[in-house]
Amino acid sequence: MVHILTGRFKDALGFAFDLHATQIRKGSGVAYIAHLLSVAGLVIEDGGDEDESIAALLHDAVEDQGGPETLEMIRERYGERVAEIVEGCSDSQGLPKPPWRGRKEAYIAHLRQATPSVRKVSLADKIHNARDILMSHQICGEVVWTRFRGGKEGTLWYYRTLVEVFRDNRDDALVAELDRVVTELERLGG
């Protein structure tokens, strides 16, 4: 199925850039927009429609750049469906964030019941994050785990559980890719 992207996507790209302009990825110094572009690319390649692709660009906006106010701006600019997907991909809305383990357990429970669109964007996000962790591990070794509130054990638990949740809902190449990367992280982290 072919989905054509329109000026809405172009506008969302600029909006995402503006929201995250000063943000960098944990420990790497890479501009955060690279993550958003990668997630959107995975969603588009997976057959995502324009709303899903826009949500991929904005999936971290609520969590990292303004909470409920940002969600309302997304709703006004891109519509209810995009806002629902973005909200469904957020494990918190604002600061301070709830404790890590409880937040991740709640997100996993939420994903089990989430719409296919939320799961599509979330899966793309988790694939890119896991790939980034793997690449960082290859560069700096075990110190990579200090970047994460869950540490090595918690982060590996979280990603392995995500593989299981996604596999319960779809068993395809993207889930296999997340499983492959997580398996490699477990091998290195073991």
Active site residues: 63-64
* Integer angstrom CA distances of residue 106 from 45, 61, 131: 28, 19, 23
Q: State whether residue 24 is helix, strand or coil.
A: strand
Q: How many helices (H) and strands (E) does the chain have?
A: 10, 0
Provide the residue type at 178 as one letter. Answer: L
Closest CA to 15 of 84, 89, 66: 66
24, β-bridge pairs = 31
Give the separation between CA 4 and CA 49, rounded to whole angstroms: 8
Give the separation between CA 21 and CA 33, rounded to whole angstroms: 7
